[in-house]
Amino acid sequence: MIILDYKDARPIYEQVAEKFKALILKGVLEKDEQMPSVRSLAMELSINPNTIQKAYAELERQGYIYAVKGRGNFISDSAGLLNGKKEELKERLTELYREGKEFGMTKADFTEYLNRLEE
């Protein structure tokens, strides 16, 4: 489910949170599905439970999961989160397009490259 990259400069809790975000946004983890317990995930990944707790706290702060006292953590409705992620990607693409234009790239250059990605 989750594979950590120990060569990655980001903290482990950020990697765990990013992996879960991707699983949630892709629909692999569905609304109201229970997350693995902190203890079981920590054992599975061979990391400190506090690291998992920190990742879960970050996911909850960002609205990806919600906690139910005494029952665990559950997946939030991701429809709004997915739309937010798409908007974030559009903003990044817009910024890349503007930067490319500064260096002489045309809309046709971008389109040609994007078309090759889908082949």
pLDDT tens track for 4-61 = 888 999 999 999 999 999 999 998 999 999 999 999 999 999 999 999 999 999 999 9
21: its two tokens: 């975000």
What's the pLDDT score for residue 93?
92
- How much is the pTM? 0.74
pLDDT at residue 114 in the model: 87
Per-residue pLDDT at 9: 92
User: What is the pLDDT at residue 53?
Assistant: 97
Residues 6+ apart with CB under 8 A from 34: 71, 72, 73, 74
Check residue 118 and give its pLDDT: 77
Q: What is the Cα–Cα distance from 79 to 25, expressed in whole angstroms?
A: 8
pLDDT, residue 79, reads: 80
**What is the distance in angstroms between the CA of the first residue and the CA of the last residue of the chain?**
28
